[in-house]
Amino acid sequence: MKRLHVHVGVDNIEEGIKFYNTLFGVEPVKTKSDYAKWLLDDPRVNFAISTRTEKKGVDHLGIQVEEDGELTELRQRLEGAAVSLFDEGETVCCYAKSDKSWVQDPSGTPWEAYKTMEDVQVFSEQQDRQEACCTPDMPVMMGMPTKAIDN
C-alpha cells in the first residue's frame, strides 16, 4: 500500500511539532533535534518537517511504498511518462535508509518515489550535505547524473 509523503521546511522544530501535533491529533513517530515525522493513516500520509531545507514551506513531495514490486511499478510508470527519472538507489536521508528515484513535475516540484528499509541514526550519509535536506539539486537532476534514465 502506498502513502503520500510531504516534507515541509520549518524555522523552529519545536514550534512545528507543537502545531502539527495539534493539527493531526497525534505525536510524531520520530523526533530529532532537526526533524520530526508523522505516519498518519487518515489520511494515509508520511508527513515530515525539518530545519534542514533551503526553503521554508513545502520542500518536496513523494510516494512511499511498502513492497519492492510497488516501487518497480511506480518507476516504470514514471519512465513511461516521458519525464527524466533520477534513480538515486539506496541512500541514507532523513534518518532512514531508502531506495529512491526522483522526478520533477511540470512546474518544477521535486517528487520522490521510495521504499524505506530501516531507520538510522544520522540525517544523511553525505557529509558535504549535512546542513541540507536530501532533495537532489535541481540542476543536477536536470543534468541527469550517470544513474539517470532519460526518456
Digits of tens for pLDDT over the chain (151 positions)?
899 999 999 999 999 999 999 989 999 999 999 999 999 998 899 999 999 888 899 988 989 898 999 999 988 888 877 677 888 777 777 677 788 888 888 778 888 888 886 766 776 666 444 445 566 664 444 443 333 333 3
Domains of the chain in start order, with CATH, are: 3-149 (3.10.180.10)
Distances (CA, A) of 111 to 4, 14, 105: 10, 26, 7
Distances (CA, A) of 30 to 51, 102, 108, 149: 15, 24, 29, 33
Residue 54 contacts residue 81 (beta carbons within 8 Å): no
Distances (CA, A) of 132 to 50, 53, 122: 10, 5, 13
